[in-house]
């Protein structure tokens, strides 16, 4: 049984057309998968909220009453300690966790 297969120019051209269509379809699907516009919009919101973070911290600290204790006073005031704590918490998280956390502000 002789199974000869000839590759002709016509056959190659047809295959190239099919492959080009597949490439276009795959690229369209890839573009649809990632919503750049939505991501950029959320990114801008997060940036605005991060810029307001010190203001939010000051507002929260204004609601707290602190009683002075005996002993040596703290080197950092409460606002700086809270900012340092938040920064440390944000650095120990993955990008998704940080994004979800920042959406709360």
For residue range 63-99, list pLDDT tens digits in order: 888 788 888 877 778 888 888 888 777 777 666 666 6
Q: Is the pLDDT of residue 7 over 80?
A: no
Half-sphere exposure of 65 (CA within 13 A, CB side): 1
Are the C-beta atoms of 87 and 57 separated by less than 8 Å? no
Cα 59 to chain centroid, rounded: 27
Structure token digits, residue 40: 């950029």
The structure tokens 């297969």 sit at: 5
DSSP code, position 3:
-
């Amino acid at each position: 049984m002789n199974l000869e297969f000839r590759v002709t120019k016509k056959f190659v051209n047809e295959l190239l057309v099919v492959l080009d269509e597949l490439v276009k379809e795959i690229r369209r699907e890839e573009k649809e998968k990632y919503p750049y516009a939505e991501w950029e919009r959320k990114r801008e919101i997060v940036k605005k909220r991060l810029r307001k973070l010190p203001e939010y911290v000051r507002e929260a600290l204004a609601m707290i009453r602190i009683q002075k204790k005996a002993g040596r006073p703290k080197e950092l005031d409460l606002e700086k300690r809270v900012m340092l704590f938040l920064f440390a918490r944000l650095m120990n998280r993955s990008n998704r966790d940080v994004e979800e956390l920042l959406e709360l502000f």
